[in-house]
Amino acid sequence: MFFVLWYYYTRGDNMRELYYCAKCGNTKTGEKQCLICQGQDIVIVPKKYVSYVADVIPVLNEELKEEFLEKVVKISPSFDPYWFEHKDEISQNMKQQYEKVKSFQKEQANVPKCPTCNSTDIKKISVMSKAVGATMFGLLSKTARSQFKCKHCGYMW
């Protein structure tokens, strides 16, 4: 939500148009290409059907939504009933994919890296080998305090 606000604010006043995809009727589209059906027939929604959230964000007027769909979207030469029927489902899937990618990236970001060579090929030192290290080299040995060992350069931290 914050991003959307920021997006419209930075676009400036004179660009507050609402666009729809003439192929699938999606109104949450970019200005050049529909994010759902990849269609490039992007048209400005007539002012009549637009209302503004917080005076900034153009959205489809809910009360006139049906009329808009019947009188504008469905009569468009590029209108494609298949995409129209499935667009919500598809955008839902895309959202889930996006969430997956995001959580994957987050996981990736949490993967520990070797501080010296940046390798992610590292080994978590088990409690067992820590204990062995501790008895063999004394409690203050580096191994005893380390948690990870880099398999690439051998650094331990």
- Are the C-beta atoms of 20 and 45 separated by less than 8 Å? yes
Per CB under 5 A, the list member of 15, 94, 117, 136 interacting with Zn ion is 117
155 binds Zn ion (CB under 5 A): yes
3 state SS of 113: coil
Per CB under 5 A, the list member of 23, 73, 79, 144 interacting with Zn ion is 23
Burial degree of 10 (CB within 10 A; 0-12, 13-18, 19+): exposed
Please give the Cα distance from 89 to 101 (Å, whole number): 18
Please give the Cα distance from 33 to 107 (Å, whole number): 31
Nearer to Zn ion, 143 or 155 (CB): 155
Smallest gap from residue 106 Cβ to Zn ion (A): 23
Q: Give phi and psi for 60, each to the nearest 5.
A: -70, 135
Residue 43 pairs in a beta bridge with: 20
Nearer to Zn ion, 63 or 89 (CB): 89
Amino acid at 64: L
- Are the C-beta atoms of 67 and 49 separated by less than 8 Å? yes
Stretch that binds Zn ion, among 74-82, 116-124, 128-136, 141-149 (CB under 5 A): 116-124
Binders of Zn ion among 24-53, rule CB under 5 A?
24, 26, 34, 36-37, 39
Smallest gap from residue 9 Cβ to Zn ion (A): 25
Smallest gap from residue 2 Cβ to Zn ion (A): 25
Smallest gap from residue 74 Cβ to Zn ion (A): 14
148 binds Zn ion (CB under 5 A): no
Please give the Cα distance from 18 to 36 (Å, whole number): 16
Residues that bind Zn ion (CB under 5 A): 21, 23-24, 26, 34, 36-37, 39, 114, 116-117, 119, 150, 152-153, 155
